[in-house]
Amino acid sequence: MFQLASRLARSTGGMSLLKRNCSSSTIPQYETLAVTVHSPFVYHVELNRPDRLNAMNGTMWREVGEAFRVLADDKDCRVVVLSGAGRAFTAGLDLSDPSVLMPSVEDDDDIARRCQAMHRLIRRYQDSVTSLEKCLKPVICAMNGPCVGAGVDIASTADIRLCSSDSWFQIKEVAIGLAADVGTLQRLPKAIGSRSLVNELALTARKFLSAEAKECGFVSGVFPDKESLMKAAFEMAASIAAMSPVAVQMTKRSLVFSRDHTVDESLEHIASWNQALLQSDDLMKSAMAAATKSPPPTFSKL
């Protein structure tokens, strides 16, 4: 018991709960994103080019990666709600931005050099999308209106997908001469049960509406309008933020790892991590609260 008490004292440190629950981070400013703190530990990342339906220009591709890499290290952030400003989640790749698919060596005569530059560009865009997954804070993707092309890549990478009833989705790449290359073809088959449906959607570029998205499991909730969607997304985010951040982030790490590995490899993975995490102060505090019939504890920051 003495050991438990001293660990509890250590975990609360000298700081007041109020101080620990308030954000003290400085949030970078972005040109194409609005990043705000919605409530304690709940961050909101908004794709913010509403007049272009949040189409992803070169700056947005770069800033999405930068923002999620910053949030990954932000101790005040435990969960992220990702949405689009205005009437769309995103209309996908910005087709009016010439730089978006043209690396700087476009006029180089040598095909090998042009290919290398294009390869680097694609890998950069892939890294931007993957940054949602590498950030161990759960990402709730709240979508309204169109979610086209790159939007499906991003949504497929999020941990939880919700949408409003007016939303629709389209893996549009084959219709504009592209094979989707930043994550949809790799992640969507693992996000929804039917590979036949994934193949159909990717090969025909047919739109699917919110009801079908729910039926096939692409989204886990459909809400009547954007207002109720955002309310539900932030409530869900707050409930995740109230959990032990150590446990939540380990759960995300394990879920992502398990998606891409065998059950046995994944069990070994969580056993290796949990040999440390089972000694967490958060577990001790929870056990103490249960034993003393106290309310659930407030967890310290990471």
Ligand X SMILES: CC/C=C\C=C\CC(=O)SCCNC(=O)CCNC(=O)[C@H](O)C(C)(C)COP(=O)(O)OP(=O)(O)OC[C@H]1O[C@@H](n2cnc3c(N)ncnc32)[C@H](O)[C@@H]1OP(=O)(O)O
Under the criterion CB under 6 A, does residue 181 sit at the interface with ligand X? Answer: yes
Q: By Cβ distance, which residue is nearest to ligand X?
A: 149
Under the criterion CB under 6 A, does residue 250 sit at the interface with ligand X? Answer: no
**Of 46, 94, 159, 281, the one binding ligand X by CB under 6 A:** 94
- Which residues 6+ apart lie within 8 Å of 276 measured at CB? none
Q: In the bound complex, what is the minimum distance in angstroms from residue 179's beta carbon to ligand X? A: 10
**Of 172, 187, 226, 285, the one binding ligand X by CB under 6 A:** 172
Under the criterion CB under 6 A, does residue 117 sit at the interface with ligand X? Answer: no
Residues between 39 and 78 with contacts to ligand X, criterion CB under 6 A: 52-53, 55
Angular region, 54: left φ>0, alpha ψ -120 to 50, beta rest: left
Question: With respect to ligand X, which residue has the nearer C-beta, 90 or 244?
Answer: 90
Tokens of 148: 């086209």
Under the criterion CB under 6 A, does residue 91 sit at the interface with ligand X? Answer: yes
Question: With respect to ligand X, which residue has the nearer C-beta, 130 or 300?
Answer: 130
Using DSSP bridges, classify how beta strands 42-47 and 33-39 pair: parallel, antiparallel or unpaired. Answer: antiparallel
Place of tokens 């272009």: 52
| One character per residue 139-158, x = contact with ligand X (rule: CB under 6 A) | -------x-xxx--------
- Which regions of the chain does DSSP assign to beta strands (E)? 33-39, 42-47, 79-84, 139-143, 146-148, 160-164, 168-170, 208-209, 221-223
Question: With respect to ligand X, which residue has the nearer C-beta, 46 or 173?
Answer: 173
Question: CB under 6 A: which stretch of 75-83, 174-182, 224-232, 251-259 binds ligand X?
Answer: 174-182
Distances (CA, A) of 296 to 10, 42, 73, 267, 302: 18, 19, 26, 28, 18
Binding residues vs ligand X (CB under 6 A): 52-53, 55, 91-96, 122, 125, 146, 148-150, 172-173, 176, 178, 181-182
